[in-house]
Amino acid sequence: MVKPLIFFDPYPRTKEMVLSSNLEKKLKKISRLKTYFGKRAPINIVESILPDVEILVGQTSMDKRRLKLSKKLKAIINVKGNWENNIDYKEAYKKGIYVLSAAPAMAPAVAEACIGYAIALSRNTYANHNDFVVAKEKYGIEGNRNSYNLYDAKVGFIGFGNLAKSLIKLLKPFNCKISSYDPWLTKQEFDKFNVKKTNLNSILKNNQFIFILSGVTKDNINFLNRTKLKMIKKDSSVILISRAEVVDFEAFIELAEKKYFRAAIDVFPEEPVPSDSSLRKKKNIIFNSHLAGGMYFSYMKIRDMMFDDILSILNNKKPRNLEHAIPDKAKLRIDK
């Protein structure tokens, strides 16, 4: 009996991220495993292998013609945390091919980072550190005059996907009053999590903490423009951790630096950020180099969840761990 063919084409993910030696051994026991790392697999390799592939792991372009060529294909597993505009999702769904994303595996680590950024902003940790370095620190209540608590705070989410749902769990002990804006979802979907569905303006005007968690699509680039950003309640803590393209990044930096609001930023329009970027001269913003989710913990979860779903699929069972792309039953948010 011929083993099923599994093909890894996961660039920009590396082998270290998605294929540990242990996972490689397990996959070789159940399949004919072929891999291509370091760059996107060449067209000739992809198209020669597609007619026999049952599981495709990576961000390989799969248009209608390629899907038609893939006679045995059961699943496409995107090992990034977003949907990319390089798959004919409707055709895949029609053919019964699972299209899965590793977003649920990344969300817990990113949610944890959100909590850290929020507390660092509300407690003025960054400014207090800088004062301490130059021997200008203040102690006790004097050093906390501009601090506030996450406990019992009003918290707003912009976007309500995997990350928001992981963040809710971590916020539960803080007894926050959480509201969210996400035009894709119904009130009933928010009610399941005891979250108030509201509009964008309300999120910006009424919350002490705002988490920008939405993915980017061709329709929502820069939807948080200068006018919207100026609605943010004075001195609120704003955490930009999803995609930089959803905000007018220049306006966001300018307003945060002028202390309209406090800001922590984990993502940038251009990565790596150029060494001579003007961002490196800003004094009032917490910057992190897209580190929130990219941890060994996250990639271990991706590998474990992926292997479990691969076993299910090859045994004609529904995958239960990774996120499903279902374009006909839910509005699919596709990256630009």
Query: Got the DSSP string for 15-43?
Result: HHHH--HHHHHHHHHHSEEEE--SSPPPH
Mean pLDDT, the chain, integer: 94
Residue 336 pLDDT > 50: no
Instruction: Mark 271-287 as b/e (b = at least 16 C-beta within 10 Å).
Output: eeeeeeeeeeebeebbe
**At residue 329, does pLDDT exceed 60?**
no
CATH code of domain 5-103+296-324: 3.40.50.720
For residue 44, pLDDT beyond 90: yes
pLDDT of 236: 98
What does CATH list as the number for 105-287? 3.40.50.720
Closest CA to 56 of 36, 38, 42, 39: 36
pTM of this structure? 0.90
Per-residue pLDDT, averaged over 216-226, amounts to 89
Spell 296-305 as b/e; 16+ CB within 10 A means b: eebbebbbeb
> CA-CA-CA-CA torsion for 252, 256, 261, 265, nearest 10 degrees?
70
Note the pLDDT of residue 334: 52
Q: How far is CA 256 from the centre of its chain?
A: 22
Q: What is the pLDDT of residue 57?
A: 98
Report d(CA 298, CA 110) in Å as an integer: 9
Ramachandran angles phi, psi of 311, nearest 5°: -60, -45
Per the CB < 8 A criterion, the answer to whether 80 and 101 are in contact is: yes
Backbone Cα Rg of the chain: 22
Q: 87 pLDDT exceeds 90?
A: yes
What is the per-residue pLDDT for 190? Answer: 96
Region for 329 from its dihedrals, namely left if φ exceeds 0, alpha if ψ lies in -120 to 50, beta otherwise: alpha
Higher pLDDT, 299 or 184: 299
Residue closest to 156 by CA, chosen among 232, 230, 227: 232
Query: Is residue 185 scored above 70 in pLDDT?
Result: yes
Say which residues have a Cβ less than 8 Å from residue 72's Cβ, sequence separation at least 6: 4, 5, 51, 52, 53, 54
Asked if the model's pLDDT at residue 6 lies above 60, the reply is: yes
Q: Is the pLDDT of residue 335 over 70?
A: no
Interval 322-327 mean pLDDT: 87
**3-class SS of residue 219:** coil
What's the confidence (pLDDT) of residue 198? 98
